[in-house]
Each structure stands twice: as C-alpha cells, then as structure tokens.
Amino acid sequence: MTIKPDGFEPPYPTPSLFEADRSNPYLAKAAELRDIFALDAIERDQSGGRPTEQIRLLKESGLVNLVIPKEFGGAGEPYSTAMRIVREFAKVDGSLGHLYGYHFSPLQNAVTTAHDERSRNILRRSAAGRWFWGNTTNSFSKSLFGRQEGERVILNGVRPFASGSHVADYLMVAWEDETTNRRSFAYIPADRKGITITDDWDGIGQRQTGSGRVLYKDVEIEKSEILPDRPQVPITLLAPLQQQSVLLNVFVGSAQGALAAARDYTVAKSRPWIYSGVERHSDDPWIKRQYGELWTKVQAATALADRALSAVDAVYAKGPDLTADERGEAAIAVASANVLAGRVALEVTSEIFEVMGARSAVRPLGFDRFWRNVRIHTLHNPAEYKTRNVGTWFLNGEFPEPGIFQ
C-alpha cells in the first residue's frame, strides 16, 4: 500500500464499523476482496481506466455466479446478498460496487424467465465461464438501430453510458427497429465483430465504471440470441427495482466507508483547532457531536436499505404469483431507501472534511472520491421524482407505474 502524506496509512474500513456478516461465506469473501481493492483504490480512482485485475479476482472468487440458481451451476443466493456485497466494495471503491451490481441485471432477467430454454442456456454458460456482464441498453438514448436481413438483425449506431462494457465478457444490448421503432434485446459476446468499446468515460466520479460509449458497425445478431418477448406481468417488471437497489447500496456503502475512513483519520492524525481548548481533536465537543450525527444518519440509511433488500427478496420469491400490489409495495420500499441513502451519502461524504480538518483535503489521501462517486450517481438518478412517487402513494395509495427508475 502506498504510504500517504505525513505517514498516514488509512485502514479501509475500520473492522469494527459496518462490518459484513462473515458467517456468510460469500460476504466473508467479499470482505477479503474489499481489503485487496482498498490497497490501490485511490490510485485507480485518479487514473481511471479499466479495473482489469480486480475483475479477474472477482471472477476467480466465483462471486460473479452468486445469484445464478444452483441447478445452472451458480450459488443460488438471494439478490440481497449481491447487494450487500455491492456495499462492501463501495466502502472503498464505488466503481467496483457499481460494476458488480450492474453485472447482475442481465442474469436476473434470465432467472425470471428460466422456463425459456434460451435463458436456461445463458445461465449455464455464464456460470461455467464465470462471465462478467456489461450493458448497452440505455433506455433514454434512441441511437442504436437494427434492420432485419433474413434471420439476422444488423445493428448500427451507438450506446452511451454503457457501464461495465469495458471489462465484460458478455453484453446485454437493446436497439430500436429502424422501420417500426420496436425495441428488442439480445445477449451477445463483448468481442463481437463490429463492436468498438471506446472506454471514453471521463466523469468526475465512478472513474473506472467504463460508462462511456459503445459503437456498433454492421454488428450481426443471430435470431437465437434475441430474447423472446416477456409478458408484462409483475415478476417480469422488476428490472427498475434491481437498478435502484444497486444505486442505493452504492450510496450506503460509500457513506459507511467514508465515515469509517474519516474516523480513523480523525483519531490518528487530526489536530485540534487552536481555540478548542482540548489537546486531542477527538475530545472536542463539536467533533463528537458532528460524528454522532453522521453515525446516526448512516445507521438510519442502512436500516432502510436493509428493509428494501428484504422487500426485493420477497417479491422475487413470489415468482409468477407476484401481484401488482406486492410489486408496488416493494417499489415504494426501494424508492424510500434510495432517497434517504442518496441524501445521507451526499451529506456524509462532504461533511467528513469538516471533522477531519484542512490537512485531509489533499488529493493523495483520496477522501474526495467518496463524494465524487456519490455526486455523479445522484445526478443520474434524481431523488425528486422518487420522492414524489412515495408521496403520491402515501396520500392516495397509488403505486408508481412500472418503468425505468421507478
């Protein structure tokens, strides 16, 4: 690990704070990987690029197969376990938390349609190959079009915000038919001829997510790769809850990691203000009060996030028997947790500098990455509209219509 300025070598995170449940072997493995990822998290954040070695370790660990049912060669863990691992990684590296969480979206899509042989086949192959998944399905961008040529579809265009594409073995791709504008989906290898992954993401945060553009030039999609139409029933309308769960757990993990790292710095390195009247910064009543408030906020956000995870597990367990109201109740639980988690994460990742002091605000220490990661995620996921959905439900009993970000 690189030694930081004035001898401070931050342990990420403090073991006694927000520690994973190590009785679960998958969470225990995730905590081990988290500590490995922490060793160069600051340097990787500042350089951007591809977390190639980290993805290799993830695949080697088998955690990429976490939610694939055992009958197809996976671990058969509930979705909540994957999201708790997202938190673990986000404690030190928001990019890896994001990538790991989004990796499961195509797999969960396949799990909910496992009666279809194409879905069953993709689950078996993904488990056997320990594939890492990326996406080029951006729903806001009508910029990738397909034309039918016999049994194949030929794609041309571009997809922005293609998170994970730069480290993916396989991609989930969506396009519009150039004649009918009908939207279709397919699972394809990331190295398919005609695909150019530009890896041109240059955001202020989430520096290694590869959320840039993927270019398509006469890319051939076989009929067997195109996903069948999914019936619009509650169990097939859970993709927004998946995505929102990833984001809110990146928020929670980032807040937990920032607070733990700040606490360590405050105890080890912060100096008391000249008018505080104390010899140790940690004895200042102001610092104690502010840490108390930050701790309480993070605990509240974590509790609501845990409640949301239980709700998501419950709707998946219902399978085809899931009702629209049950889906709606879970959507409200996830939206509520997301709103609080984003707000708390923004507050915590900013306010830690006040309690650490001026010497903490230097680039080599990398404390700013927590705020930058959270800030960029919240901009792509406005809390205002989720808050309105929750308020509408509270006042009128109306659940949000199933749709992206709902």
Residue pLDDT, tens place only, 265-311: 999 999 988 888 888 989 899 999 999 999 999 999 999 999 999 99
Average pLDDT value for residue range 183-190: 95
Question: Given this model, what pLDDT does residue 13 score?
Answer: 47
Question: Given this model, what pLDDT does residue 406 score?
Answer: 65
Q: What is the overall mean pLDDT for the chain?
A: 92
Specify whether the CB–CB gap between 91 and 257 falls below 8 A.
yes
Question: Given this model, what pLDDT does residue 274 score?
Answer: 87
| 290-322 per-residue burial string, b: 16 or more CB within 10 A, e: under 16 | ebeebeebbeebbebbeebbebbebbbeeeeeb
What element of type H or E holds 84? Answer: helix 79-90
What's the CA gap between 279 and 272, in Å, rounded?
7
Question: Given this model, what pLDDT does residue 404 score?
Answer: 72
Specify whether the CB–CB gap between 281 and 263 falls below 8 A.
no
Comparing CA positions, the residue from 102, 53, 36 lying closest to residue 377 is 102
Comparing CA positions, the residue from 160, 151, 155, 147 lying closest to residue 194 is 155
Average pLDDT value for residue range 174-181: 94
What's the CA gap between 388 and 386, in Å, rounded?
5
What's the CA gap between 72 and 70, in Å, rounded?
5
Specify whether the CB–CB gap between 144 and 136 falls below 8 A.
yes
Q: Model-level pTM greater than 0.75?
A: yes
Q: Which domains does the chain have, with CATH numbers?
A: 25-131 (1.10.540.10), 135-221 (2.40.110.10), 234-396 (1.20.140.10)
pLDDT tens-digit profile of 360-388? 999 999 999 999 999 998 998 889 999 99
Strand 152-159 relative to strand 144-149: parallel, antiparallel, unpaired? Answer: antiparallel
> 3-class DSSP state for residue 195?
strand
SS3 for 253-271, per residue? HHHHHHHHHHHHHHHHCCC
